[in-house]
Amino acid sequence: MSQNELSLQDVPETGETKERQAHPFHTLKELLDYVSGRTLPAATPEEAVLSEPLPFPFLAIVGQREMKLALLLGLINPLIGGILLIGPRGTAKTTAVRSLLDILPSVERSLCYYGCLPEDIQTGGISAVCPDCAKKYGEGLPLSAPGRVRLVELPLNTRLEDVVGGIDEQVSIDHDRKRIRRGILARADRNLLYIDEINLLADDIIDAILDAAAQGAYTVHRDSLSATYRARFVLIGSMNPEEGHLRPQIMDRFGLRVIVHGLDDPTQRLEAYNRVHAFHNNQRNLIAFYRDEMQGAAREIQSARQQLSKVDLPDKVANPAIRLIHKLGIDSLRAEITWFEASRAYAAADGRSRVTPQDLQVVAPMALRLRRSKFMTGFFNDQIVEEEELVGLLAGLNRKVK
Ligand SMILES: [Zn+2]
C-alpha cells in the first residue's frame, strides 16, 4: 500500500504520517483554526466565464467559526436535529451552506426514482419497493450504491404540492393511470435541506417540513392514492431577525442555533474581501488553491461519520449536563438530545470514542441558546400565583363550610 492509499482508519493514533502531506489538520478544531490562517497569493485579474456558479470553498470563509463548526457537526451527525443560522444579511450564511458542496460525505443511495432501498425490503417485505426494484432484488442486482450527500435548496415561492409531492400529471396523461410524484422532502432523504429566510415561509409548508423531519418519513394522500416516503434530512434554515420572527415552536425544532455576526476584526474583513474578490476574478483559481485542503476536510468528515457510532457518552459526563439544563429552566428535551449528539460528533471528529466535559462545553452555546422561553417562564410564574390564589380562596371556602 502506498502512502497515498493509506486510509485514516489504518493510521495509528500516534502516527506522524497521518495525512501530513494532504492537509495540516487532524481534528475539527485544527480544521477550524486553519481556515482563518491562510493568506492568498497575489491574484492575477482574469475574467471568469462560467455558466454555472461554483461554490465558494468552505475553507476560504474567513472567521465565522461557530457557523462553520455547526455545519460540520451537521455533516458528521444528522441526529443533531438541524441547524438554524440567525443573522443579518451579508454575513455569508448562504455562502457557507453552499460551500459544503465540495466536502459532503458519502451515503448509500437508492438507484431508483422512487427511492427504494434494500432496507425497505428488510423492514416491509418485497412489496415495500416498486415493481422494478422487486425484480432487481429477485435477480440479485443492487438497489443502491454509494453516493454523495446532496444539498437540496427549497426554492423561493415553493408550493406545498412541490414540497410533499402530488399527482404526476405526465404519467396520468401518458399511461392513463395515476402516480404520485416525489416531492422535495422525499428528494431530501439522506441529504441536506436548506431553507433561506425560513421565517418568511408559509405556515402549512413549514409544518409539513418539520413534521417530516421529526418523523423521518411522511405520507401523501392524493385522490385515492397514498404514498409514504423517507425524509431523513438535516434541515438547515437561515433567517434575518430584522425581517420577521420565527414561531417559538419552530425555533424549538432546530437543534443547533448559531448567531451570525459580521466580522469585527478589520484584518479579517480585509482578508474576507480579498478572497471574495479573488473568487469573483477567477472562481476556478481560488477553488484550485484550496483543493488539497478541501479534499482533506472531506476525508476527515467521512472518517468522523464512521467513528460516530463508536462514540460513547458516559453517565458521569452526562449527569452534570442534565443538571445544568434543569438549572437553566429549559423544558424541551431537544436541548439534551442536540447537546449530546453534537458532543458525540465533536468527539468523533477528534478521533475519540468517548465524550469529555470539554466536548460538551464547546458545543453548549449552540445547543442551549434561545431555548428558554420567556412565555413559558411567565406562564409558570402566573400559574404559581393562580394556584396560591386558588388555595387561599379554597381555604376561605372551607372555613365558611365549617
Ligand atoms: Zn424502486
Q: What is the per-residue pLDDT across 340-382, written as a single tens digit (0 to 9) for each?
A: 999 999 999 999 999 999 999 889 889 988 887 665 556 666 7
pLDDT digits (tens, 9 = 90+) for 239-292: 988 888 888 888 888 999 998 888 888 988 898 898 998 898 888 888 888 888
The H or E element that residue 222 is part of is strand 217-222
Cell numbers at 217, concatenated: 418519513
Question: Residue 237, SS3?
Answer: strand
Does 154 have pLDDT greater than 50? Answer: yes
- The Å distance, Cα 125 to ligand 1 centre, comes to 13
pLDDT value for 395: 78
For residues 14 and 356, which has the higher predicted lDDT (pLDDT)?
356
- The Å distance, Cα 128 to ligand 1 centre, comes to 9
Beta-bridged to residue 106, according to DSSP, are: 148
Catalytic annotation on 354? no
The residue-averaged pLDDT of 212-220 equals 87
Active-site entry in 181, 257, 334, 352: 334
Beta-bridged to residue 167, according to DSSP, are: 180
* C-beta of residue 195 within 8 angstroms of C-beta of residue 250: no
The percentage of the chain sitting over the pLDDT mark of 90, rounded to a whole number, equals 28
- The Å distance, Cα 102 to ligand 1 centre, comes to 28
289 burial level (CB within 10 Å; 0-12, 13-18, 19+): buried
pLDDT value for 7: 35
The CA distance from 60 to 142, in Å, is 39
| Backbone angles phi and psi of 145, in degrees to 5 | -150, 155
The residue-averaged pLDDT of 21-37 equals 65
pLDDT digits (tens, 9 = 90+) for 170-208: 666 666 667 777 889 988 888 999 999 998 898 899 999
- The Å distance, Cα 1 to ligand 1 centre, comes to 38
Does 8 have pLDDT greater than 90? Answer: no
pLDDT value for 24: 62
The CA distance from 229 to 243, in Å, is 33
* C-beta of residue 233 within 8 angstroms of C-beta of residue 191: yes
Tell me 59's DSSP state.
G
pLDDT value for 377: 59
Q: At what angle do helices 65-76 and 357-368 cross, to 10 degrees?
A: 110
Question: Residue 245, SS3?
Answer: coil
For residues 78 and 9, which has the higher predicted lDDT (pLDDT)?
78
pTM exceeds cut of 0.95 = no
Does 19 have pLDDT greater than 50? Answer: no
The residue-averaged pLDDT of 68-83 equals 93
pLDDT value for 221: 86
